[in-house]
Structure 1
Amino acid sequence: MLRILTYNVRRCLGTDGRLSPGRIADVIAAYEPDVVALQELDVRRARTGGVDQAHAIAQALGMQMHFHASLRVLEEEYGNAILTHRPSQLIKAGPLPGRTGRLAPEPRGALWASVNLGGTAVQVITTHLGLRRNERLAQVDCLLGPQWLGHRACREPVILLGDFNASPRSRAYQRLASRLRDAQDTVPRHRTKPTFPSRLPMLRIDHAFVSRSIHVVRVESIRSPVARIASDHLPLMIEFQVMPVRTLKAGMEHVSD
């Protein structure tokens, strides 16, 4: 059985006001995932003590890391990461559509790695979408287009996960769910689990979407005492199996921007 986990860590700032990449790593380690998708990581930023949070968490977990900076100012970076202890290769990292200029909202991006899970190359894409509806729709259209999910290298099996800032009733969510399946909806008799806010979760905005060859066995919103304070989001963990795909080809290839 395989496990993948998505977690918006809010720059490792807990709801108790304490900064702690180590605490985030402890939350993750308790569930022993094969792959971890993280959003809102600070790298060498003054506001969080200059720590490379992506590297610190990966090191604590004994995992390799792929990082994409959605925002970069001089030496300071902020973005998303994919961590794994399985063989993996970065396929693509890049920005998603958004307004530019001094008053533009926070820039957004996506990160795609091919991870060897039990001899199968699983295409894992993580993202953190914008707060405005039109912005999210443009970003979803980009993800569904030829640069990402529509790319010839993005073949079965595929997992898209992260913080989408979109509820299941939103158009952005529904567009994604028309291409891939919401992992929470694939488990019989499963009651869907919200992830935000962590102290009293009511909203389901962190999602994992899977292709047809991913058989989801269990989905859990991690609600341990430490998870409730480590970030303002709870992690979402998906336990799954990879079903045989006849058309899956061996090897991995780099996709240019």
Structure 2
Amino acid sequence: MPRRLRFLTYNVHSCFGTDRKLDPGRVAAVIGECQPDIIALQEVDVGRARSAGMDQAQMIAAHLRMEAEFHPALHLKEEKYGDAVLTALPMRLVKADALPSCGEPRGALWVEIDFAGVKLQVIDTHLGLRGSERIRQATALLGPGWLGAIRQPDSRVILAGDLNAIARSTTYKLLAGQLKDVTSLCNLKPRPTFPSRLPLLRLDHIFVGDGIGASACRVHSSALARVASDHLPVLAELEVQPNARPTEKGLQPAYGESFPPLP
């Protein structure tokens, strides 16, 4: 039987809300409304003067009683800015590296998470603003240094983040040619995620590989979410198929097994 897992991706805009207030606790509260097991964050500040030197990855993780892995796509002296994965499940870093960039530096973070004895390969990324740049970055993610390196038959792949790409784009089509968009698995009309107050574009995506289905997916647009960041988070309820030979005592997820279906 597949096991349910709640996965969320969220561009937190350095925890500056649409009201220009800096508030990591508010971002953590938005995430708490969704009760995810695994969270992929983008635009996270660590030690930056503009955000009062906060370690936002650790602050949000502490609010949620989770652990965090952080990768700085941008690293200037002591100031860092990049992506983070948060979870209360056992997690180890596999790879954190730059992606081909011609403007602002971009990168990706790859962690392995043990979910009920299944190895989840989670890749969190934030792609560039130029179309040609995003194509190179997506091609790199599909190549031997990233997704192409995952050979284990019992591995399960999730790739998520702010792709700065809509469904008509070449970048999206490259990724959708190798992975499955969770909205298509749920037969849902995709909803926009940006800007949060009046969403017009779907820039934030969750893709999954073989062995993972989806029973529900939605853009979380609570009153708090509309002000906490300039993006809205995307929440998916995934169905993870067990290994061919499941372990006798699997690790349990932090939340998802006891939740009712998403509306």
- What's the TM-score, normalizing by structure 1? 0.91
Confirm whether residue 66 of structure 1 aligns to residue 61 of structure 2: no
User: How many percent identity over aligned positions?
Assistant: 50
- Counterparts of residues 1-257 of structure 1 (less than 5 Å): 1-99=4-102, 105-152=103-150, 156-188=155-187, 190-246=188-244
Please give the alpha-carbon distance, in whole angstroms, between the structure 2 residues aligned to 1:197 and 1:38: 16
Deviation at 1:152, TM superposition (A): 3.5
8 Å Cα contact 1:123/1:154 also seen in 2? no
Deviation at 1:153, TM superposition (A): 5.1
8 Å Cα contact 1:148/1:154 also seen in 2? no
Please give the alpha-carbon distance, in whole angstroms, between the structure 2 residues aligned to 1:21 and 1:150: 35
Please give the alpha-carbon distance, in whole angstroms, between the structure 2 residues aligned to 1:165 and 1:6: 13
Deviation at 1:113, TM superposition (A): 0.5
Deviation at 1:248, TM superposition (A): 9.2
- After superposition, the Cα gap between the structure-2 partners of 1:43 and 1:153, relative to the gap in structure 1 and judged at 3 Å, is farther
Given residue 150 of structure 1, which amino acid in structure 2 is its aligned partner?
G
Given residue 58 of structure 1, which amino acid in structure 2 is its aligned partner?
A
Please give the alpha-carbon distance, in whole angstroms, between the structure 2 residues aligned to 1:242 and 1:44: 36
Q: Give 3-state SS (helix, strand or coil) of 2:148's partner.
A: coil
- After superposition, the Cα gap between the structure-2 partners of 1:141 and 1:248, relative to the gap in structure 1 and judged at 3 Å, is farther
Given residue 178 of structure 2, which amino acid in structure 1 is its aligned partner?
R
Please give the alpha-carbon distance, in whole angstroms, between the structure 2 residues aligned to 1:13 and 1:244: 39
**Higher relative contact order, chain-length normalized (CA < 8 Å, sep 6+):** 2
8 Å Cα contact 1:184/1:219 also seen in 2? yes
Given residue 136 of structure 2, which amino acid in structure 1 is its aligned partner?
A
Please give the alpha-carbon distance, in whole angstroms, between the structure 2 residues aligned to 1:117 and 1:191: 29
Q: Give 3-state SS (helix, strand or coil) of 1:209's partner.
A: strand
Number of aligned residue pairs: give it: 243
Please give the alpha-carbon distance, in whole angstroms, between the structure 2 residues aligned to 1:162 and 1:193: 15
8 Å Cα contact 1:127/1:162 also seen in 2? yes
- Deviation track 1:6-48 (CA, whole Å, cap 9, x = no partner) reads 0000000000010000000000011111100000011010011
Please give the alpha-carbon distance, in whole angstroms, between the structure 2 residues aligned to 1:119 and 1:28: 25
Deviation at 1:247, TM superposition (A): 8.7
Give 5+ residue unaligned stretches, structure 2: 248-263
Given residue 107 of structure 1, which amino acid in structure 2 is its aligned partner?
P
Deviation at 1:209, TM superposition (A): 0.5
Give 5+ residue unaligned stretches, structure 1: 100-104, 250-257
Q: Give 3-state SS (helix, strand or coil) of 1:81's partner.
A: strand
8 Å Cα contact 1:140/1:175 also seen in 2? yes
- What's the TM-score, normalizing by structure 2? 0.89
Deviation at 1:212, TM superposition (A): 2.2
Q: Give 3-state SS (helix, strand or coil) of 2:34's partner.
A: coil
Please give the alpha-carbon distance, in whole angstroms, between the structure 2 residues aligned to 1:248 and 1:202: 43
RMSD over aligned CA atoms reads 1.5
8 Å Cα contact 1:221/1:234 also seen in 2? yes
Deviation at 1:129, TM superposition (A): 0.1
Please give the alpha-carbon distance, in whole angstroms, between the structure 2 residues aligned to 1:127 and 1:39: 7
Query: Runs of 4+ in structure 1 displaced over 6 angstroms?
Result: none
Structure 1, 238-247 or 32-41: larger mean CA deviation: 238-247
Please give the alpha-carbon distance, in whole angstroms, between the structure 2 residues aligned to 1:247 and 1:194: 39
